Chain A
Amino acid sequence: MAKIIAGLASSHVPAIGAAIDNKQTEDPYWKRVFSGFEKTKEWMAKVNPDVVIGIYNDHASAFSVEIIPTFALGCAAEFPPADEGWGPRPVPIVKGHPKLASHIATSAILDGFDLTIVNKMEVDHGLTVPLNLAFGSPTEWPCPVIPLAVNVVQYPPPTGKRCFDLGRAIRKAVASYPEDLRVVVFGTGGMSHQISGPRAGLINSKFDKSFLDRLTKDPKGLAAMPHLEYMREAGAEGIELVMWHVMRGALDDHVREVYRFYTVPASNTAVGNIILENVGKTGKKPAAKKKAKTANKTAKKGLRKAA
């Protein structure tokens, strides 16, 4: 059976992508940012997942104001990088996993989540920057990636709780997929930032650090935070952080924080990165698969007890 083994959250600042594309990663300004992701890349290489589910938002690239899906699941075989006004990023085409994606769509819809199914979609920096931060700049991405685009552009985005619950539904869907696949879920966007209006440049590190702490220890309480609080405390565009709850909801209640990185700024934005593992997994691929099965059962029992 397939299994979600870990979650990774990361900011997806477009300027980070530009720095990679323009080969500025060694500049002192950018080195400060990229050096924080070295451990992330090491972890990623070690974990070597079979599939990534990437929760991100489209920034008026694939979706304009003509169609605004709240949750759009990419079920295609391929997702080319979008032209965001500067030409498409020179990154590999994102290869999807149509079978698992369709399975997730079916399971989640029957579970009460009316997902929009997308069979043709270009993906922007929201997805490709975190892929760079986790995998570096290979000629092909090392595994299939299922994109899930969340509307955070037009108010209101889905609530934190709805995002968390969608994560739960994704977890359930993955667990019922018959093939042995090890899945990592990415939550992207944030952290505090505002790029619009006279209040642009707002950063709230205290908020961000508390968000990171609570993501591990108090995920349900954190998911209950109203939109107003994100916008007031973390900037109008800080609302992107709701997407992290999808990732967190897809994990077990109890997780181990294996890594965290935070720096200010990258362009207009506070950069955060956190890696959370379901307890009792990872290691080398074949061994991990066996172990993971029992861990999953134990985790499920734990959940039932908690409920």
Chain B
Amino acid sequence: MAKAKPAENEYEDIPGTFVFNAERSREGYGINMFCMSLMKDENRKAFKADEAGYLKKFTLTPDQTDAILKRDYNRMLELGGNIYFTAKLGATDGHSFRHLAAVMTGSTQEDYAAMMLAGGRSVEGNRSKSGNDAPAKKAAAKKAAPKTSAKPGSKAKSKSSAKKRK
């Protein structure tokens, strides 16, 4: 097998994405356990009554506390929060996943909803921070090829991109 093993954090090259790995999980343990506590109605009430006071019950860095109080969802993810957990904070504020997604992308709710209805955010140009958008080129080339070649085409794609990334 010629396939190169990807570096452990190769996914850090994906733009606009914080992959929730073991390191982030360790760092963000307090954020996520705080969010988990919001599964209980009495805790939601206690938090809403005194947010900063409630947060003192958890092991959080000043940055993490600040991100939570400011509802800076991207910063929470960066500091080890996970979306399925931070969504519970969103729910406590009465917000859905889609609402939070719009907030994290910096769009208005209307613009985000319109983008989704129009088919969502394209992957083209959104694969790689380092400009290694090789699969995009391959995929574009694939477009011209007959449909039956989709299978071998995508295989070749992953091989060549693995090579390039090495």
Query: Which residues on A are within 8 Å of B, measured CB to CB?
Result: 14-15, 18, 59-61, 64-66, 83-86, 153-156, 192, 194-207, 210, 213-214, 217-218, 221, 225-229, 231-233, 236-237, 264-265, 267-268, 270
Q: Of the listed stretches B46-54, B64-72, B94-102, name the one at the interface; the rest are far from the partner chain.
A: B94-102
Residue in B closest to A64 when the chains form the complex, CB atoms: B36
Q: Are A200 and B38 in contact (CB under 8 A)?
A: no
In the complex, the number of residue pairs spanning A and B with C-beta atoms less than 8 Å apart equals 168
Q: How many residues of B contact A (CB 8 A)?
A: 59
- Tell me if A155 and B22 are in contact (CB < 8 A): yes
Further contacts, 7 of them, CB under 8 A, given A199-B126, A226-B158: A64-B36, A65-B25, A154-B21, A264-B120, A267-B96, A268-B97, A270-B120
A225→B158 contact, CB < 8 A: yes
Closest 8 CB pairs of A and B: A203-B120, A199-B16, A85-B91, A198-B16, A196-B83, A200-B101, A201-B121, A60-B84
Q: Are A197 and B116 in contact (CB under 8 A)?
A: no
> In this complex, what residue of B is CB-closest to A124?
B84
Residue contact B38 to A85, C-beta cutoff 8 Å: yes
Q: Give Cα A61 to B40, complex, Å.
A: 12
A residues less than 8 Å from B19 (CB atoms): 155, 231, 236
By beta carbon, the residue of chain B nearest A229 is B158
Chain B residues, CB < 8 A from A207: 123
CB <8 Å contact, B82 and A226: no
**Is the beta-carbon distance between B116 and A265 smaller than 8 angstroms?**
yes
Q: Would A85 and B87 count as touching, CB distance under 8 A?
A: yes
A197 touches B120 (CB 8 A): no
Does the CB pair A197–B16 fall under 8 Å? yes
- Which residues of chain B from 124 to 139 have a CB within 8 Å of any chain A CB? 126-128, 135, 139
Residues of B within 8 A of A (CB): 6, 10-11, 14-22, 25, 29, 32-33, 35-36, 38-39, 74, 77, 82-85, 87-88, 91-92, 96-98, 100-102, 104-106, 112, 115-117, 119-123, 126-128, 135, 139, 150-151, 154-155, 158, 162
- Residues on the B chain within 8 Å of A202, using CB: 120-123, 126
Contact A268–B88 (Cβ < 8 Å): no
How many whole Å from B85's CB to the nearest CB in chain A?
A: 5
Provide the residues of chain A in CB contact with B35, threshold 8 Å: 60
Residues of B within 8 A of A195 (CB): 83, 97, 100-101
A60 engages B85 (CB within 8 Å)? yes
Measured between alpha carbons, how far is A203 from B122 in the docked complex, in Å?
6
| Bound Cα distance from A210 to B100, whole angstroms | 29
* Closest chain A CB from B96 CB (angstroms): 7
Contacts of B17 in A (CB 8 A): 194, 196-197, 199, 231, 236
- A18 smallest CB distance to B (angstroms): 8
> Hey, which chain B residues are within 8 Å of A231, CB to CB?
11, 14, 17, 19
CB-based nearest B residue for A226: B6
Q: What chain A residues lie within 8 Å of B117 (beta carbons)?
A: 265
Task: Find chain B residues with CB under 8 A from A60 CB.
Answer: 32, 35-36, 82, 84-85, 88
